[in-house]
Structure 1
Amino acid sequence: MSLLPLLLYTSITALVIYLLLNLRTPNRKPLPPGPTPWPIVGNLPHLGPIPHHSLAALATKYGPLMHLRLGFVDVVVAASASVAAQFLKTHDANFASRPPNSGAKHIAYDYHDLVFAPYGPRWRMLRKICSVHLFSAKALDDFRQLLNVCTTNALARVMLGRRVFGDGDPKADEFKDMVVELMVLAGEFNIGDFIPAVDWLDLQGVTKKMKKLHARFDSFLNTILEEHKSGNSTGDLLSTLISLKDDADGDGGKLSDVEIKALLLNLFAAGTDTSSSTVEWAIAELIRHPQLLKEAQEEIDTIVGRDRLVTELDLTQLTFIQAIVKETFRLHPSTPLSLPRIASEDCEVDGYYIPKGSTLLVNVWAIARDPKMWTDPLEFRPTRFLLGGEKPNVDVRGNDFEVIPFGAGRRICVGITLGLRMVQLLVATLVQSFDWELAKEIEPDKLNMDEAYGLTLQRAEPLMVHPKLRLSPHVYKSH
């Protein structure tokens, strides 16, 4: 080979090597630590049957910020309050959208709902509608009577096995089953979401189940829409929402029927399953701790008395009930793994590189049980939130990252105020109205407190109890 071609070959080779070396991100930080992924499926096998438990265990080995590879998707997991705050506060805008997922596509009207809508003008419109017309302080005050009706219906379910308001629809249990199924399916780690090439195969049968469930919900919601459009219902949350159909609101234009149904789906799912499961956990914990139940009843008897039922207006004075609810949210958060978010751009968190397109999961369950943040974290101890306790000023509204059952940042649950009122009022009403005994002569300290995994935190075994009236009969009859 002559000198000229050799020099040309050497120069081109050197240029290629230089470009390859310098086109890489200069001085890029390392990815967060994490378990070694398997070929193709990545770390999906590491999730186990209850992912928030498995991820909490992995965090003890790899630290509070982990990187996983689920199929072909980068996933980062936050498992401490400080790391969660960096994602949901410092980098909140970068993680304001949701990653693609089969649940949003096949159940939630192809991302037309509030929960899974991409961050942008339409999401802001939906958020504004909910914030102003459904969940503002004024709106909740307007709906106060309806909230009291709801708790009375819950009492009737306990006492009579049926509702006393409405038409006593026999399909109520069927609807509850639909909501539970939705939460289970939405919580599935669908392989097709992480390995797109096999999505069409529907290896787990998840997509088929989602489409079938969507058809059932759509039929149910169409019926509700038609009833409200005909003017058969007024003065409730749904009527307010439907009345906005023709009103332009914000940058996103007018609400469509599909967006209304998608929002109704959000409201039904979030408003029934999360509240009922949290109340069930609270009553279970009080049965396991009879002294706490007695103290809660004494507080209500002192402030409310025994000649009327507790109302929403009493809640601000029931500090022990509030503490019980906070402690229930801490130990049994309704959404143990936050709904996923996606990184719009590369960023750096805690000294680690987070690549664009990474999915973020916040292990709310693990954060609230962090022994570095909580004394005896596995103990149900409501007094920790009272004056003299370890966390008297910590709240659950998204500002204190030690306990964020409703999330935080831009994507915090829009119905947080209503959710808190509902759970507090339901717990207070059930505590005031009944003494509780376990079925089958189970000892309180032997009560099964295992969890079943879904998008929301359900009990592995439903709570079976015998309620005994503790107020005068006329109190129940008057409601």
Structure 2
Amino acid sequence: MNELGRVTIAQMIMFLIPCPLLFFFFFFLTRNKSSKELPLPPGPYPWPIVGNLYQMGKNTHIRLAEMAQVYGPLMSLRLGQRILIVGSSPAAASEILKTHDRALSGGSVSVLLQGSAVHNMNLVFSTETSDEWRKIRNLYASKIFSSEAMESRADMRENKVMEMVKYIGSIGGENISIKDVMLVTATNIIGNTTLSMDLVDFEGNGIGAGIKGSVRRLSSLGAQQPLADKYPIFGRWDIQGWTKQVIHIIEQELGTIWDNILQTKRNGTNNNYIRRI
């Protein structure tokens, strides 16, 4: 056999050896976890590995509406290895949010946060509808957000809105960020509803001065779905540093603000941080 023949055979062997490994890797990522799974609602055909991610685009809500016209008011999508069920009609919403509320009321928490200090500790980062979860939810519903409680705080909300209007009027011809002013107002309405105190003023000062930036960063991270949520095989590793950032904001930044609020309440002080106009 000449030199050319040996090189060709060697190249073929080097090409063929990885093929079975690649096939089994694709099969492992795309195979169903159980052959006994119930049939899913109709939906677009998923590609290997990526599923239907390539079909989402930038305007996801528009693409989902277009898909619903083709596949119906209840459809299934695959985002990597994850299955997403989308309801897009009043009847589907009623089934999800009312008829089967008990079974579907658990939150969608990132794989990377499950098992962390914040998992199942509150309503936001809870995947379980346990007795403790229902107890907290009922407390919110009956003591804070009931119609009687909301009506009793109507004057407070009106006062906060008027403070916002007066502040905007005092600025004169200066540029102002309306969304920042509204965020301060909303924050103080929540602060007075739950803690009977203002948290921040329109200049960014107060006991909750850092809450605006922390909430924005946390919301931004929440919108950046980590790789492990699409491919749970990577759940053991925080490849993107996502978990570290989320935990830091919750425990260090928001945790410090919460400690300061508790200390203020325990000391019996209740300073009003909104500048009166």
TM-score (norm 2): 0.63
Q: 2:84 aligns with which of 75, 87, 110?
A: 75
Q: 2:248 aligns with which of 191, 212, 217?
A: 212
CA distance in structure 1 between the partners assigned to 2:255 and 2:115 by the alignment: 11
- The answer as to 2:231 corresponding to 1:195 is yes
Name the CA shift for 1:39/1:157 in 2 (closer, same or farther; >3 Å): farther
The answer for unaligned runs of 5 or more in structure 2 is 1-33, 172-180, 189-197
Name the CA shift for 1:200/1:82 in 2 (closer, same or farther; >3 Å): same
* Corresponding residue number in structure 2 for 1:132: 142
Q: 2:53 aligns with which of 12, 30, 44?
A: 44
- Structure-to-structure mapping, 1:259-270, within 5 angstroms: none
* Corresponding residue number in structure 2 for 1:359: none
Give 2:211's aligned amino acid: F
* Corresponding residue number in structure 1 for 2:204: 170
SS of the residue 1:119 aligns to = coil
Is the CA contact (8 Å cut-off) linking 2:210 and 2:253 kept in structure 1? no
* RMSD of aligned alpha carbons: 3.5
Is the CA contact (8 Å cut-off) linking 2:113 and 2:243 kept in structure 1? no
CA distance in structure 2 between the partners assigned to 1:49 and 1:210 by the alignment: 24
The answer for unaligned runs of 5 or more in structure 1 is 1-22, 235-476
Name the CA shift for 1:24/1:187 in 2 (closer, same or farther; >3 Å): closer
Report how many residues are paired.
Answer: 212
TM-superposed deviation, 1:66: 1.2
CA distance in structure 1 between the partners assigned to 2:114 and 2:260 by the alignment: 22
CA distance in structure 2 between the partners assigned to 1:50 and 1:157 by the alignment: 36
* Corresponding residue number in structure 1 for 2:156: 146
TM-superposed deviation, 1:203: 4.3
CA distance in structure 1 between the partners assigned to 2:148 and 2:230 by the alignment: 43
CA distance in structure 1 between the partners assigned to 2:260 and 2:116 by the alignment: 17
Is the CA contact (8 Å cut-off) linking 1:104 and 1:111 kept in structure 2? no
Is the CA contact (8 Å cut-off) linking 1:68 and 1:74 kept in structure 2? yes
Give 1:224's aligned amino acid: I
SS of the residue 1:186 aligns to = helix
CA distance in structure 2 between the partners assigned to 1:204 and 1:111 by the alignment: 23
TM-superposed deviation, 1:231: 2.0
- The answer as to 2:136 corresponding to 1:123 is no
TM-superposed deviation, 1:206: 2.9
- Structure-to-structure mapping, 1:39-438, within 5 angstroms: 39-101=48-110, 109-117=118-126, 118-160=128-170, 168=201, 170-171=204-205, 174-214=210-250, 215-233=252-270
Is the CA contact (8 Å cut-off) linking 2:143 and 2:149 kept in structure 1? yes
TM-superposed deviation, 1:122: 0.7
Q: Looking at both structures, which has the greater relative contact order when contacts are Cα pairs under 8 Å and sequence separation is at least 6?
A: 1
CA distance in structure 2 between the partners assigned to 1:178 and 1:24 by the alignment: 44
SS of the residue 2:270 aligns to = coil
Name the CA shift for 1:216/1:53 in 2 (closer, same or farther; >3 Å): farther
Give 2:91's aligned amino acid: S
1:382-428 deviation line (CA, Å, top 9, x unaligned): xxxxxxxxxxxxxxxxxxxxxxxxxxxxxxxxxxxxxxxxxxxxxxx
TM-superposed deviation, 1:77: 0.7
SS of the residue 2:107 aligns to = coil
Name the CA shift for 1:137/1:30 in 2 (closer, same or farther; >3 Å): closer
Is the CA contact (8 Å cut-off) linking 1:192 and 1:199 kept in structure 2? yes
CA distance in structure 2 between the partners assigned to 1:42 and 1:85 by the alignment: 28
Give 1:60's aligned amino acid: Q
TM-superposed deviation, 1:91: 2.2
SS of the residue 1:94 aligns to = helix
Name the CA shift for 1:43/1:193 in 2 (closer, same or farther; >3 Å): same
1:329-353 deviation line (CA, Å, top 9, x unaligned): xxxxxxxxxxxxxxxxxxxxxxxxx
Is the CA contact (8 Å cut-off) linking 1:106 and 1:211 kept in structure 2? no
Give 1:65's aligned amino acid: L
Is the CA contact (8 Å cut-off) linking 1:36 and 1:43 kept in structure 2? yes
TM-superposed deviation, 1:123: 1.2
CA distance in structure 1 between the partners assigned to 2:101 and 2:150 by the alignment: 28
Is the CA contact (8 Å cut-off) linking 2:111 and 2:232 kept in structure 1? no
CA distance in structure 1 between the partners assigned to 2:39 and 2:141 by the alignment: 40
CA distance in structure 1 between the partners assigned to 2:225 and 2:158 by the alignment: 38
* Corresponding residue number in structure 2 for 1:467: none
TM-superposed deviation, 1:221: 1.6
Is the CA contact (8 Å cut-off) linking 2:74 and 2:87 kept in structure 1? yes
Instruction: Name which of structure 1's ranges 200-209 and 70-79 shifts more when overlaid on structure 2.
Output: 200-209
TM-superposed deviation, 1:225: 1.8
Is the CA contact (8 Å cut-off) linking 1:106 and 1:207 kept in structure 2? no
Give 1:43's aligned amino acid: N
CA distance in structure 2 between the partners assigned to 1:24 and 1:102 by the alignment: 23
1:223-278 deviation line (CA, Å, top 9, x unaligned): 112212222239xxxxxxxxxxxxxxxxxxxxxxxxxxxxxxxxxxxxxxxxxxxx
TM-score (norm 1): 0.39
- Percent identical residues: 28
